[in-house]
Amino acid sequence: MGTMTAALTDAHMEVQALAREFAAAEIAPRAADWNARTHVPVDVIRRMGELGLLAPTIPERYGGPGLDATALCLIVEEIARADAGLAVPIAVQAGLVASPLLRAGTDAQKEEWLPRLATGEVLGCYALTEPDAGSDTAALRTRAEPDGDGWQITGAKQWISNGALAEVFIIFARTGGEGARGISAFITGPADGLLVGREIPKLGLHTSSTVELSFDAMPVGPEARLGPEGEGLKLALATLDGGRITVAAQACGIAQAAIDLAVSYASGRDAFGGPIARFQGVQFPIADVAARLDAARLLTHHAAGLRDAGKPHGPAGAKAKLVASAVAVAAADVAVQTLGGYGYSAEYAAERLYRDAKITEIYEGTSQIQRLVIARDLFGDAAR
């Protein structure tokens, strides 16, 4: 089935083919079993690192593939098409850990962490969200108190993807007063005072680790601060601007998998004397989501292209995520409906796609937050 993309280079096509082949061989045949057991296949995540699929945007000088944001989107979509949960470590490693490190890190920080992040030797996580600070990131309470030359971090984080696997943590903590200007960022390995909580039971993404983290006077050295003091929230929001493009790509992968499943089933399912694919009542809902997916994919690649060109991409990424997440949910719904009773059965992939799709409307900024970003771009100060 033909899919529409913006103009891709040979390098893009090569990495897309690599990701597609890996997903087909190593992920798709085992995804149902992993999801049923809520198993996070760390060996497969490390293997993606060895192949350069885990953090493809890390430059060659730090041991990475040196690919662009468009290539990252192509990889994420192909992996998510086979299993949405296994796209999460890529989105975290490349979009939430390597990206702010490249943006704000010192040479020493980059040399220490980027080569190992590139190969999957270490896995990272991004500790921003708290029990009382989700969409309202400026309200976070975790504190970093001065301690000699460094700091001690105390507080709690929630919904931390990759948290149980992480060997490097990007932590946002308050070093000053209330509000946005009092927050700084840190990058550190595990230390005394770090407590990794239980895996949080989730509706979907059963192959992805999501935990609570708590810090009890966890020491970090003076070399751990990432970027200037008090600039942490600015770094966090800039990171999310790029991360939303990656989530949009994940949503496109889920939608494509749902369409593939619906088309395959409808073409092979006989009723009333022939395949149900000949009925417009079956064809049209699938046709609608296929058109919307092409639009979402083009928005996603457009936003990635702006990022690659060094141009502002916040509103474009918000539009891509808003549209792509909505089509992921719609396409999964169409797949369940097309399969009928089988769609409702846990023995078929449709119900997993249905559960996995919903998170794309929630994490890295809810759909409401995306609308806020878009509206503020349209209205400027009048929207505030």
CA gyration radius, the chain: 21
Active site residue 361: no
CA-to-CA distance for 95 and 112, rounded, in angstroms?
18
By three-state DSSP, how is residue 152 classified? strand
290's tokens: 């296929």
Q: Judge contact between 161 and 88, C-beta under 8 A.
A: yes
CA distances (Å), 190 to each of 147, 165, 211, 294, in order? 17, 11, 15, 42
CA-to-CA distance for 104 and 342, rounded, in angstroms?
49
CA distances (Å), 338 to each of 47, 260, 264, 285, 326, in order? 35, 12, 10, 9, 18
Burial tier of 380 (Cβ tally within 10 Å: 0-12, 13-18, 19+)? exposed
The H or E element containing residue 173 is strand 168-174
Provide φ and ψ at 52, rounded to 5°: 80, 15
Provide φ and ψ at 102, rounded to 5°: -65, -35
CA-to-CA distance for 231 and 1, rounded, in angstroms?
46
Find all residues with CB under 8 Å of 342, minimum gap 6, and list them.
265, 348, 350
Q: Name which of 361, 343, 355 is nearest 285 in CA terms.
A: 343
Provide φ and ψ at 124, rounded to 5°: -120, 165
Out of 130, 212, 351, 364, which one is annotated catalytic?
364
CA-to-CA distance for 305 and 302, rounded, in angstroms?
5
In the DSSP assignment, the letter for residue 200 is P
What positions carry a catalytic annotation? 364
